[in-house]
A and B are shown apart, each in its own frame.
Chain A
Amino acid sequence: MDQILNVLVFGILLGGIYGLVSIGLNLIFGVVRIVNFAQGELVMFGMYGSYYAYTYLGLNPYLAALLVAPLVGLIGMAIQRLVIQPLHNEPNMQIFATFGLLMMFQNIMLAISRGEAVSIGGDAGAAVLALGDMKISVVRLVTFIATTLITVGLHLFLSRTMAGKSIRAVTQDKRSARVMGINVERTFLYTFGLGAGLAGLAGVLLTPIYSITPTVGGNFILAAFAVVVLGGLGSVWGAYIGGLIVGIVEAFAGYYIDPSLKSAIWFVIFLIVLILRPSGLFGQVGAEEVGFREQH
Chain B
Amino acid sequence: MSAFKSVLKPIVSIALLAGAAMLPHLAVAADPIKIGAINPFSGPLALYGVEVTRGYELAVDQANAAGGILGRKIDIVRGDASTPQQGIATVEQLVAKDKVDLFVGTYTSPVSNAASDAASRYNKLYWETGALAQNLTERGLPNYIRMSPNGGDFALLSVTAVRELVAPALKKNLKDVKVWIEHEDSLYGTSIAQTQKRLLEALGAKVVGVGAHSMRSIDLNDTVLRAKQANPDVLIQTGYVPDGNLLLRTARDQGFKPGAILMVGVGDTPETLQSVGAPSIEGVLVVSYPRTDISDKYGPGAKGFLAAYRAKYKSDPIASQSMTAYVGMQMLFDTIRAAGSLDVAKIRSAAAAMDKPNGTYATGYGLKFDKNFQNVRALPVTAQWQSGKMVTVFPIDASPVGATLKPLTRN
Contacts and interface: CB of A to CB of B under 8 A. Distances in A.
Interface of A: 3, 6-7, 10, 14, 17, 107, 110, 114-123, 125-126, 128, 130, 135, 137, 209-211, 213-216, 218-220, 223, 250-251, 254-255, 258-260, 262-263
A254 B229 CA distance: 14
Contacts of B50: 114-115
Contacts of B225: 3, 6-7, 10, 255
B106 to A, nearest CB: 16
Nearest to B44: A215
A110 B48 CA distance: 12
A162 to B, nearest CB: 37
Contact of A219 (B42, B43, B46, B216): B216
Contacts of B45: 115
29 contacts: A3-B225, A6-B225, A7-B225, A10-B221, A10-B225, A110-B43, A115-B45, A115-B47, A117-B271, A121-B275, A121-B276, A121-B277, A122-B273, A122-B276, A122-B280, A126-B252, A128-B253, A211-B271, A213-B44, A250-B219, A255-B226, A258-B212, A259-B211, A259-B212, A259-B223, A260-B185, A260-B213, A260-B214, A263-B214
Given A114-B47, A119-B275, A137 B222 contact: no
Contacts of A130: 255
Nearest to B318: A116
B226 to A, nearest CB: 6
A215 B242 CA distance: 11
Contacts of A14: 218-219, 221
Contacts of A123: 277
Contacts, number: 122
A196 B178 CA distance: 48
Nearest to A133: B255
Contacts of A115: 44-48, 50
A4 B185 CA distance: 26
Contacts of B218: 14, 17, 210, 219-220, 223
Nearest to B256: A135
Contacts of A254: 219, 221-223
B174 interface: no
B241 interface: yes
Contacts of B185: 260
Contacts of B229: 3
Contact of B222 (A119, A125, A223, A255): A255
A171 to B, nearest CB: 29
A119 B271 contact: yes
Contact of A122 (B211, B219, B242, B275): B275
B42 A137 contact: no
Given A3-B225, A255-B226, A260 B277 contact: no
A122 B277 contact: yes
A118 B43 contact: no
Q: Is the interface of B mostly helix, strand, loop or mixed?
A: helix
A126 B47 contact: no
A220 B278 CA distance: 28
B135 interface: no
B384 interface: no
B274 interface: yes
Contacts of A211: 241-242, 245-246, 271, 275
A123 B44 CA distance: 26
B212 A125 contact: no
Contacts of B242: 117, 210-211, 213, 216, 219
B249 A125 contact: yes
B253 A259 contact: no
Contacts of B241: 117, 211, 213
Given A110-B43, A115-B47, A126-B277, A260 B221 contact: no
Contacts of B253: 126, 128, 135, 137
A258 B46 CA distance: 33
B249 A121 contact: yes
A75 to B, nearest CB: 21
B373 to A, nearest CB: 31
B250 to A, nearest CB: 8
B254 interface: yes
Interface in B225-241: 225-226, 229, 241
A209 to B, nearest CB: 8
B42 A107 contact: yes
A260 B182 CA distance: 11
A119 B318 contact: no
Contacts of B42: 107, 110
A69 B280 CA distance: 31
A122 B142 CA distance: 48
A81 to B, nearest CB: 28
Given A121-B249, A258-B212, 4 more contacts: A115-B48, A137-B253, A209-B249, A211-B242
A29 B211 CA distance: 36
Contacts of A122: 273-278, 280
Contacts of A7: 221-222, 225
A262 B185 CA distance: 13
- Give the interface centre of B221, B241, B255 by most chain A CB atoms within 10 Å: B221
A120 B271 CA distance: 9
A119 B44 contact: no
B256 to A, nearest CB: 9
Contacts of A10: 219, 221-222, 225
A218 B214 CA distance: 13
A135 B254 contact: yes
Contact of A128 (B47, B214, B246, B255): B255
A10 B220 CA distance: 10
Interface string B248-284: 0100111100000000000001010111111010000
A262 B253 CA distance: 21
Given A119-B245, A219-B216, A262 B277 contact: no
Contacts of A255: 221-222, 225-226
Contacts of A3: 225, 229
